[in-house]
């Protein structure tokens, strides 16, 4: 190198989707700084939606142009088939989440005001609003895009933080039940920081072992470096903690119910769909690429984590009395089902089928989740959204259409045939069986059966109980919310009845596996 | 026995009306959904929508029929793939071939006429819209039953028509008798459906597929024991749906439903589903002679039992129901004989669909004019006041007794001839049945339309409105000429041959065989006897006590008593026993398991303290465990 610093070569075209999102986020900050208050929201919404749509178009364009076979940006970012598929998924989920976020009444007028104070009254009265939400969401989405595509551990860490920090903030901005919301934000921040520390420490240990933070080089070192196994296992384990925390795998799931419950529901929708997709992408890349040669060692450990996650998610969900906490535990259980696919490694063909199963599952689950949370935003009483399950009794008699749609989402979560959830589970479990993880699949099926109980219980509650006299009313949805619910319902039907195109797309995205 | 190789293979792709054959099912299904979900707003036009959907379905069926006719005989079996649920495992498709399209035409044509008739018949009923919704649902399910290209679709349709039948028998559920009859039909059908279901399971276990094409092409390779078992199980299903012995008891009670329902479901279409099942599964039965023998015995026993029951009933609809049992017995008999009988079975099924619907709707017209009176002892002399009903009823009557040149003459005598050739005992019993048919049908006509007027003082009989008489007229035209059209020159047999096979030597129609002449003579004796008892003599207002035989027939051959003694009471004991074990054993296990999971959920919940410090601790412990486990596994 002779002491000179060479300018890095960066394939801007490949990174364009991310750059568009980050660029729009920065423009959003400038809008906050310079545009007058009354104009901001009118600028933010089109800016956000257009940038997400543009990034999606660029992703599709990339995919059509052909998938590159080498990592980009000097090996820091890998834009490969799975990454493009995940980007597309995240961008669609982010787009619909933003349509929910845009709906009025979810966010606090002045976050700094003490809950219940005169200051807050004043802010509400004057119609103040936190339009910073939009650039924050865009930064989070940018982080979500970078996280699963990052090809070295430091970039992954940066992406993790870029994704998480805005979310910590957004969690605390709920308009109602503000103390709960702020508590959720603090908890999420503290635990997130804690787990990031694990991730970083793991990175350091692995660097100590392999002499590199590049995933491919770490993998190469697995066969050549001897006598440093403790460093390797501790490092890999800590890295795993950081990643498993983000997907909410047991025993790192504790934050999920509290945070999902406290956050503004549209933000919960974004976290439950987008963050999960991004974290799974990153988890797969780290474990399959960086530690791919080590799968004999990590797969028993992940077996344990998967079983624990499925059991904890399914069993704990049974006694939940709050719809958002129930959905949080359901999300934990689904994370466990997805982990079943992660351990189904083996030959290249097996990897492809497992990967494509996971990708399809992520799409199906993400869309249905956004839809379910969108329904939650619409069932309200005097105190805001009615979360307690007893308030949902008899909803089917008051608003049959909404209850039917929600019931349909629940059936999709349960994996009933002719819904998208069925094919997600089918694809993942089938891959796991052919990968030799049959016992895991049996646990998965049993956990699904347990999970089906609490999904169906809500359906029974909605349709076969008498409504409470002062029960919540269903607000007329704004056009955005109605579109989100409609889109999610349609996608859940289409993916359940005619899944071929998306299955095919997932399969061809998974065909090349991850670049190294 | 005919080899199944005569059956043409299925061609997968078709355009035109065949390509959209699913519309036949979709139209009435949409109609049912719209009428059920539409609420009171659709009360005004609900019945018209129902009729429209049935007619639309008929139009598609007719177009598809002519398209089928346009193909060479060997290319008339058309598959319509609809949906690949899991590629290679679960497929859904339709099969349009001469057999299924014949059924489609019957179902949609007679169905449409009965829809139209019902506009008049149900005009005073506040729940008319719901009635049409159920009728539409029935038509959709029945079409699925006959159009499906696999046993799963057939079963879904089978259950669908069972559901529609249940809903319609119990349509006037405020009457306890109707509610009970609906339940009875449902439960007896459950027995048959269970047999069918196990039969389908056995088919899948044997052939690893449920598609007709796969099963029938592999049927030759299966052992005759397996085929016999499958055949008998399918026969149990057919007995339930088609009210054959020993599962016949529900049909008589099913007459509690509105009369159009009795005409459409319990005479013309649904009850013939068993015949369809046996004919469709021909390749299975042809490999199992024992099963075929049982089929023919069941058919003959039922045709006699139904006829005997018909002789003793004073309720006009129950007498007709007994006749339906009997006529389906003829069809089952023919279906059990094999390819030589298939065409006659289906031809009789179609002509019976016309003349029996005609008779039932005629009976409905009489009831409509007589304040819903069903007791024939309170009719009499109605031919003058209801001329159109009388003439159309008379044509249906002549058709069913096999009066020369009318429909029944060709199709029923065809069955008798084939049966005689197959087995002389069966043949003579079938001839005897024809004689009894002549008696009970004449009794019915004489008691209703001839003799003295024995009306209740409040009755003011009148002819029914045009919306009810026109369907009668059209149906009676079918009863008049359809048989000749189908049988002469083996027209129908040649048409069906690509779907079900045909005998080596096509039969030639000969009106002067010994069997035919004896049959005619017996029928004439039956008619004369009936005239002597009920036409010339005075009919007592209260049924006389009668002999032992009369009581036997009036009590439905003690079928209900037998069921009660043999199945109901032991069944009740069995259910009590099962409930006991279920509560103590199985529920104990299940509830215990549920309580265990619920309990562990409650206990595990306490870990979720809400304190961030304990969450962090759990992460830390988890991390230690993870890294520790990794170290252990890695160093193994």
Parallel, antiparallel, or unpaired: how do β-strands A384-385 and A379-381 relate? antiparallel
B38 vs chain A: nearest CA distance in angstroms?
14
Q: Is A173 within 8 Å of A120 (Cβ atoms)? A: no
Residues of chain A contacting residue B617, judged by C-beta atoms under 8 Å apart: none
**Cβ-based neighbour number of residue B232 at 10 Å:** 17
Establish if A457 belongs to a structural domain: yes
Burial track B80-98 (b if 16+ CB lie within 10 A, e otherwise):
beeeebeeeeebbbbbbbb
Q: Is B443 within 8 Å of B360 (Cβ atoms)? A: no
Interface of A with B in 410-439 (CB under 8 A): 417, 426
Per the CB < 8 Å rule, is B615 touching A255?
Answer: yes
Which helix (H) or strand (E) covers residue B76, if one does? none
A451: Cβ contacts below 8 Å, ≥ 6 apart? A313, A314, A317, A330, A333, A413, A414
Residues of chain A contacting residue B598, judged by C-beta atoms under 8 Å apart: 318-319
A57 touches chain B (CB under 8 A): no
| Residue of A252, A297, A318 lying closest to B597 (CB–CB) | A318
Report residue B3's pLDDT band, with 50, 70 and 90 as the boundaries.
very low
Establish if A176 belongs to a structural domain: no
**Chain B contacts to A (CB-CB under 8 A):** 83, 85-86, 597-598, 600-602, 604-605, 607-608, 610, 612, 614-616, 618-619, 621-623, 625-631, 633-635
CA Rg value for chain B: 28
- C-alpha pair distances (Å), B420 with each of A188, B1, B524, B588: 87, 16, 20, 59
Per-residue pLDDT of chain A (516 residues; tens, 9 = 90+): 456 777 788 888 889 999 999 999 999 999 999 988 888 888 999 999 999 999 999 999 988 888 777 888 788 898 888 999 999 999 999 999 999 998 877 888 788 888 878 888 888 777 777 888 999 999 999 999 999 999 999 999 999 999 999 999 999 998 888 889 999 999 999 999 999 999 999 999 999 999 899 998 898 888 787 778 888 888 989 999 999 999 999 889 989 999 999 999 999 999 999 999 999 999 999 998 888 877 778 888 899 999 999 999 998 888 888 999 999 999 999 999 999 998 887 777 888 889 999 999 999 999 999 999 999 998 888 778 888 888 888 888 888 899 999 999 999 999 988 899 998 999 999 989 988 888 999 999 999 999 998 899 999 988 988 877 777 777 777 888 899 999 999 999 999 888 888 988 998 888 877 776
Parallel, antiparallel, or unpaired: how do β-strands B90-96 and A379-381 relate? unpaired
Per the CB < 8 Å rule, is A258 touching B610?
Answer: yes
- Distance CA(A63)–CA(A56), nearest Å, equals 11
| Residue of B616, B622, B635 lying closest to A229 (CB–CB) | B635
What the block records as the tokens of B546 is: 């009668």
Q: What is the pLDDT of residues B331-371, one digit of tens each?
A: 999 988 888 888 888 889 999 988 888 898 888 888 888 87
- C-alpha pair distances (Å), A18 with each of A57, A91, A145, A166, A277: 12, 10, 6, 16, 16
Q: What is the pLDDT of residues A427-460, one digit of tens each?
A: 999 989 988 888 999 999 999 999 998 899 999 9
A116 touches chain B (CB under 8 A): no
- C-alpha pair distances (Å), A117 with each of A108, A112, A173, B96, B377: 13, 11, 16, 74, 89
Establish if A306 belongs to a structural domain: yes
Q: Is A207 within 8 Å of A295 (Cβ atoms)? A: no
Per the CB < 8 Å rule, is A319 touching B598?
Answer: yes
Establish if A479 belongs to a structural domain: yes
B209: Cβ contacts below 8 Å, ≥ 6 apart? B215, B218
Which of B497, B344, B330 is CA-nearest to residue B429?
B330
Establish if A472 belongs to a structural domain: yes
B97: Cβ contacts below 8 Å, ≥ 6 apart? B10, B68, B76, B77, B78, B498, B499
Find residue A379's DSSP bridge partners.
A474
| Residue of B83, B619, B628 lying closest to A245 (CB–CB) | B619
Which of A245, A240, A236, A237 is CA-nearest to residue A206?
A236
A230 touches chain B (CB under 8 A): yes
What the block records as the tokens of B504 is: 């080596």
Q: Is B120 within 8 Å of B467 (Cβ atoms)? A: yes
Q: Which conformational region is residue B243 in: left (phi greater than 0), alpha (psi within -120 to 50 degrees), or beta?
A: left
Establish if A230 belongs to a structural domain: no
A257 vs chain B: nearest CA distance in angstroms?
9
Q: What is the pLDDT of residues B268-309, one digit of tens each?
A: 888 889 999 999 888 888 888 888 889 999 999 998 888 888
Establish if A274 belongs to a structural domain: no
Average pLDDT over every residue of B517-523: 85
pLDDT at B1: 36
φ, ψ (nearest 5 deg) of residue A99: -65, -30
Query: How many separate domains does chain A show?
Result: 1
| Residue of B85, B86, B615 lying closest to A254 (CB–CB) | B615
Q: How much helix, strand and coil, in percent to the nearest 5, is found in chain B?
A: 75, 5, 20
Interface of A with B in 301-320 (CB under 8 A): 301, 304-305, 312, 315-319
For CA atoms B570, B575, B576, B580, the dihedral sign is positive
For CA atoms A47, A49, A52, A53, the dihedral sign is negative
| Residue of B604, B623, B631 lying closest to A312 (CB–CB) | B604
- DSSP SS3 for B304: helix
ipTM of model: 0.86
B42 vs chain A: nearest CA distance in angstroms?
19
Residues of chain A contacting residue B622, judged by C-beta atoms under 8 Å apart: 241, 250-252
To the nearest 10°, the Cα dihedral for B326, B330, B336, B337? 160
Find residue A322's DSSP bridge partners.
A388
Average pLDDT over every residue of B593-618: 82
B483 vs chain A: nearest CA distance in angstroms?
45
- Looking up tokens 């024991």, which residue turns up? B225
Per the CB < 8 Å rule, is A187 touching B615?
Answer: yes
Establish if A30 belongs to a structural domain: no
Domain interval for residue A470 = 292-516
Average pLDDT over every residue of B426-442: 88
**Cβ-based neighbour number of residue A177 at 10 Å:** 18
């Amino acid at each position: 190198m002779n002491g000179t610093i060479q300018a890095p070569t960066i394939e801007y075209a490949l990174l364009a989707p991310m750059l568009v999102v980050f660029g729009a986020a920065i423009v959003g900050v400038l809008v906050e700084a310079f545009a007058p208050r009354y104009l901001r929201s009118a600028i933010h919404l089109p800016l956000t939606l257009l940038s997400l749509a543009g990034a999606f178009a660029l992703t599709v364009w990339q995919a059509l142009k052909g998938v590159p076979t080498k990592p980009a940006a000097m090996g820091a970012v890998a834009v490969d088939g799975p990454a493009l598929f995940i980007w597309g998924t995240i961008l669609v989920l982010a787009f619909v989440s933003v349509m929910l976020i845009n709906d009025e009444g979810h966010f606090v007028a002045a976050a700094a005001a003490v809950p219940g104070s005169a200051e807050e009254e004043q802010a509400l009265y004057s119609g103040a609003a936190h339009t910073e939400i939009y650039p924050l969401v865009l930064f989070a989405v940018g982080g979500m895009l970078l996280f699963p595509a990052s090809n070295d551990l430091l970039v992954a860490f940066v992406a993790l933080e870029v994704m998480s920090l805005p979310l910590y903030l957004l969690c605390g901005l709920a308009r109602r039940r503000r103390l709960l919301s702020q508590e959720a934000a603090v908890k999420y921040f503290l635990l997130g920081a804690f787990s990031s520390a694990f991730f970083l420490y793991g990175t350091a240990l692995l660097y100590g072992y392999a002499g590199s933070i590049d995933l491919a080089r770490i993998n190469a070192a697995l066969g050549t470096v001897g006598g440093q196994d403790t460093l390797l296992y501790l490092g890999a384990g800590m890295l795993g903690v950081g990643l498993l925390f983000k997907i909410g795998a047991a025993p790192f799931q504790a934050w999920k119910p509290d945070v999902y419950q406290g956050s503004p529901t549209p933000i919960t929708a974004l976290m439950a769909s987008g963050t999960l997709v991004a974290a799974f992408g990153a988890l797969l890349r780290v474990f399959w690429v960086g530690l791919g040669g080590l799968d004999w060692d990590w797969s028993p450990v992940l077996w344990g984590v998967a079983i624990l996650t499925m059991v904890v998610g399914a069993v704990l969900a049974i006694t939940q009395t709050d719809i958002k906490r129930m959905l949080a535990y359901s999300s934990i259980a689904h994370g466990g089902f997805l982990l079943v696919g992660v351990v189904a490694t083996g030959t290249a063909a097996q990897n492809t089928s497992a990967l494509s199963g996971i990708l399809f599952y992520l799409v199906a689950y993400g869309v249905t989740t956004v839809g379910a949370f969108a329904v939650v935003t619409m069932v309200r009483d005097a105190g805001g959204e009615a979360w307690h399950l007893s308030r949902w009794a008899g909803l089917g008699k008051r608003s049959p259409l909404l209850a039917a749609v929600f019931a349909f989402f629940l059936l999709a979560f349960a994996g009933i045939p002719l819904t998208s959830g069925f094919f997600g589970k089918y694809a993942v479990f089938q891959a796991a069986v052919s990968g030799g993880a049959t016992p895991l699949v049996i646990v998965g099926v049993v956990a699904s059966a347990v999970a089906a109980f609490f999904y169906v219980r809500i359906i029974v509650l909605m349709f076969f109980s008498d409504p409470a006299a002062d029960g919540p009313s269903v607000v007329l949805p704004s056009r955005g919310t109605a579109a989100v619910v409609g889109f999610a319902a349609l996608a859940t039907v289409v993916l359940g009845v005619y899944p071929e195109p998306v299955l095919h797309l997932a399969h061809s995205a998974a065909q090349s596996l991850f670049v190294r | 026995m005919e080899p199944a190789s005569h059956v043409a293979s299925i061609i997968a792709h078709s355009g035109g009306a065949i390509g959209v054959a699913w519309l036949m099912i979709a139209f009435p299904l949409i109609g049912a959904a719209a009428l059920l979900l539409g609420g009171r707003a659709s009360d005004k036009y609900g019945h018209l929508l129902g009729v429209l959907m049935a007619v639309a379905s008929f139009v598609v069926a007719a177009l598809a029929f002519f398209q089928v006719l346009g193909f060479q005989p060997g290319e008339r079996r058309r598959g319509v793939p609809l949906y690949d649920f899991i590629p290679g495992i679960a497929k859904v498709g339709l099969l349009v071939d001469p057999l299924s399209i014949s059924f489609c035409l019957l179902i949609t044509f007679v169905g449409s006429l009965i829809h139209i008739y019902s506009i008049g018949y149900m005009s005073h009923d506040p729940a008319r819209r719901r009635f049409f919704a159920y009728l539409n649902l029935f038509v959709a399910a029945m079409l699925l039953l006959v159009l499906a290209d696999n046993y799963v679709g057939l079963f879904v349709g089978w259950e669908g028509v069972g559901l529609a039948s249940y809903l319609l028998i119990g349509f006037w559920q405020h009457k306890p008798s109707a509610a009970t009859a609906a339940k009875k039909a449902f439960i007896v059908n459950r027995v048959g459906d269970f047999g069918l279901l196990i039969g389908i399971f056995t088919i899948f276990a044997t052939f690893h597929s449920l598609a007709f094409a796969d099963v029938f092409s592999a049927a030759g390779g299966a052992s005759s024991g397996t085929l016999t078992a499958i055949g008998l199980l399918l026969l149990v299903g057919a007995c339930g749906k088609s009210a054959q012995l020993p599962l016949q008891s529900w049909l008589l009670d099913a007459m509690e439903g509105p009369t159009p329902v009795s005409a459409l479901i319990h005479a013309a279409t649904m009850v013939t589903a068993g015949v369809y099942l046996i004919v469709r599964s021909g390749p299975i039965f042809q490999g199992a002679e024992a099963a075929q023998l049982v089929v023919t015995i069941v058919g003959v026993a039922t045709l006699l039992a139904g006829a005997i029951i018909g002789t003793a009933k004073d309720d006009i609809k129950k007498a007709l129901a007994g006749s339906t049992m009997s006529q389906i017995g003829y069809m089952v008999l023919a279906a059990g004989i094999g390819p030589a009988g298939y065409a006659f079975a289906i031809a009789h099924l179609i002509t019976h669909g016309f003349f029996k619907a005609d008779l039932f709707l005629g009976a409905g017209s009489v009831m409509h004019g007589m304040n819903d009176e069903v007791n024939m002892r309170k009719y009499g002399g109605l031919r003058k006041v209801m001329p159109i009903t009388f003439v159309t009823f008379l044509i249906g009557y002549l058709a069913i007794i096999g009066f020369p040149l009318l429909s029944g003459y060709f199709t029923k005598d065809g069955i008798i001839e084939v049966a005689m050739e197959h087995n002389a005992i069966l043949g003579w019993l079938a001839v005897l049945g024809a004689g009894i048919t002549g008696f009970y049908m004449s009794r019915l006509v004489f008691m209703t339309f001839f003799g003295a007027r024995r009306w209740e003082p409040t009755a003011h009989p009148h002819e029914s409105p045009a919306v009810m008489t026109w369907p009668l007229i059209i149906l009676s035209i079918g009863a008049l000429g359809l048989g000749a059209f189908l049988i002469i020159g083996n027209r129908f047999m040649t048409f069906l041959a690509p779907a079900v096979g045909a005998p080596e030597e096509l039969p030639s129609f000969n009106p002067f065989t010994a069997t035919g002449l004896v049959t005619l003579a017996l029928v004439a004796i039956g008619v004369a006897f009936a005239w002597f008892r009920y036409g010339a003599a005075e009919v007592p207002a209260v049924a006389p006590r009668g002999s032992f035989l009369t009581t036997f027939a009036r009590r439905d051959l003690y079928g209900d008593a037998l069921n009660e003694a043999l199945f109901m009471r032991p069944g009740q004991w069995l259910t009590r026993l099962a409930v006991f074990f279920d509560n103590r054993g199985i529920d104990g296990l299940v509830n215990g398991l549920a309580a265990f999971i619920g309990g562990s959920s409650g206990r595990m919940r306490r870990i979720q303290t809400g304190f961030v410090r304990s969450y962090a601790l759990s992460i830390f412990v988890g991390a230690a465990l993870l890294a520790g486990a990794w170290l252990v596994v890695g160093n193994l």
